[in-house]
Structures are given as structure tokens and as C-alpha cells.
Amino acid sequence: MITVLRAGPLTTVQDLGRPGYAHLGVPRSGALDIPALRRANRLAGNPDGTAALETTLMGCRLRFEAPATVAVTGAVATVKLDREPVSGPVVDVPAGGVLEIGRAVRGVRSYLAVAGGIAVEAVLGSRSTDTLAGIGPERLADGMTLPVGTVSGGVDGVAGDGSPIGEEIELGVRLGPRDDWFDVAGLFGTPYTISPMSNRVGARLAGTAVTRARAGELPSEGVVLGAVQVPADGQPIVFLADHPTTGGYPVIGVVGDVTPLAQARPGTTVRFRDLD
């Protein structure tokens, strides 16, 4: 078991999510930074989709009631074992050891994988916490305990790199289905910044408003991961893992890879590039 001593502002259990249930109103959810999750699991000797912890900005502090091997990837943050900094991503924690992931100094989200995985109950085939729909395990709270699964004996394969973390990111977009509702040149011709109001549901952007080419409103229609929805104020929202499955604002396009947004801090510059 793991005891949560400090949960941090938003620490959740995440795996690769629960795809295939959008028709029931359930989004995929899962880790925002999939490469970081996979790397942490491989370093810990787990299959790629094993459930791990995703922290947000301020990390967390955990006590391990039994010896464990853990790996920490993602955002750049100081990791300490019993108050002493550790040098590598893989840490052997003794029984009673306290591991702390500190404040992220670059990036947003850290991933902590433990050999055997976080063995909370699966819902619709996934152990991911969906912060919008309220499906899956609760977000971590101080004093909570987490079960650890059986160690599989190791997984072969190169751990790979995590997602790049920078002050500016470029997102490739395929226009549609409602690009004819807008002056699309405005989307590609202006930089935006990540708003502090962003979360696991979507990255809210601030900048020059995307102007409408036609008036009117839409009935709700299906939306997908990466959909760029433009509400009435013209400030785009890029949907992330916990996005709703339908929306009433028109979607100007869909981002091909939202992974860079997982580690984009408020104030990060975002530019769009046309993939068509």
C-alpha cells in the first residue's frame, strides 16, 4: 500500500484511458502526456498501459508501506527520498520510505509509476480518473491509501524520451468541420498564450479573437480529442483527454497531436500550423 501524505493540487490515477465509449458520453480520459507515462512504466518494469500517478505543478508526497521500485518522468521537478534528493528517474524505495515530487520548475505534469502499478478498481476497462464525468477513482487526497499490484517481472524495451518542454509550441491543425464559419486566416496568423483557466478538459487560449464569417448557432454535435472549439468570445479552446463528447460551439479544426499541451504552463506561446 501507498499512503498519501500530501496529495498536491491535482494528483490523479491515469493509464492509457478508456477509448470506445464516446457513443455513451464517456471520453477517453487517460494520461495527458502519454510518452511520459509510457517511459515511467518502462523504467519501472511495467507494461505501457499500467496505471500510474499524474501530478500537477506542485507534485505530491507518498509513504510506501512495502519496498518498491518507482520511476518519475514528465515535468522537471526535484524528487526526494526521505528528504534527500535522488539523481535518476528510477528510485528503490524501502519499506516506510517517503518519496516526494516537488514543485515543477519546467512543465506541468509529473508521472510516478510503481512496479506492479496502482491497483485501484478499473471502470470500463480503465483505472483513469475522468475529472469531467466523475468516472474512475477519486483524485488523491491527504490520508488516502492506494493498493499496489503484483510485480510482473520486468518488461523488455527502450524507455524512450518524454515530451519536449518549451516556452513556445506549434500545433498542427486539420480544418473542419465548421471552418467555413470563421476567418481561418486569423487562427494561423496570430500567436496565442495558454490561459491559467486550462485544465484536463481543455487548453484555453488567449489572443486575438477568431472572427466569425457567419452568424447563428449550432445544435450540439460530437467532438473529439484535439477539437478546437471557438466560443462566442472568439478565444479557442483545444479539447484534451477529459473533454465532453458533444459541444454546441463550432469546431474550426482538430489538432493532430495534443501532447505538447500536457506540459505547457500558463503563458506559453501557442501557434497553429495548417496540416491540410
> 140-169, pLDDT tens digit by residue?
999 999 999 998 766 555 666 666 777 899
> Residues 106, 198: one domain?
no
> Residues 12, 142: one domain?
yes
> Residues 14, 141: one domain?
yes
> Residues 109, 218: one domain?
no
DSSP 118-178: B-PPPBTTB---BTTTTBSSPPP-TT-EE-B----S---S---------SEEEEEEEE-SS
252, exposed or middle or buried, with CB in 10 Å at 0-12, 13-18, 19+? Answer: buried
Angstrom distance (rounded) from CA 63 to CA 114: 12
The total of structural domains in the chain comes to 2
> Residues 249, 115: one domain?
no
What does pTM read for this prediction? 0.95
Angstrom distance (rounded) from CA 71 to CA 47: 13
| Residue 154 forms part of a structural domain | no
> Residues 176, 248: one domain?
yes
| Residue 161 forms part of a structural domain | no
Cell of 171: 500545433
> Residues 41, 112: one domain?
yes
| Residue 203 forms part of a structural domain | yes
Find all residues with CB under 8 Å of 252, minimum gap 6, and list them: 173, 175, 178, 179, 181, 182, 184, 187, 210, 228, 229, 230, 236
Contact between residue 113 and residue 71 where contact means Cβ atoms under 8 Å apart: yes
| Residue 224's CATH number | 2.40.100.10
> Residues 195, 99: one domain?
no
Q: What is the pLDDT of residues 64-117, one digit of tens each?
A: 999 999 999 999 999 999 999 998 999 999 999 999 999 999 999 999 999 999
Contact between residue 16 and residue 48 where contact means Cβ atoms under 8 Å apart: yes
Contact between residue 118 and residue 147 where contact means Cβ atoms under 8 Å apart: yes
| Residue 116 forms part of a structural domain | yes
> Residues 253, 199: one domain?
yes
| Residue 253 forms part of a structural domain | yes
> Residues 136, 6: one domain?
yes
| Residue 44's CATH number | 2.60.120
**Domain of residue 34, residue span:** 2-146
DSSP state of 23: G
pLDDT of residue 146: 98
Per-residue pLDDT, averaged over 235-261, amounts to: 96
| Residue 138 forms part of a structural domain | yes
DSSP state of 113: E
> Residues 142, 173: one domain?
no
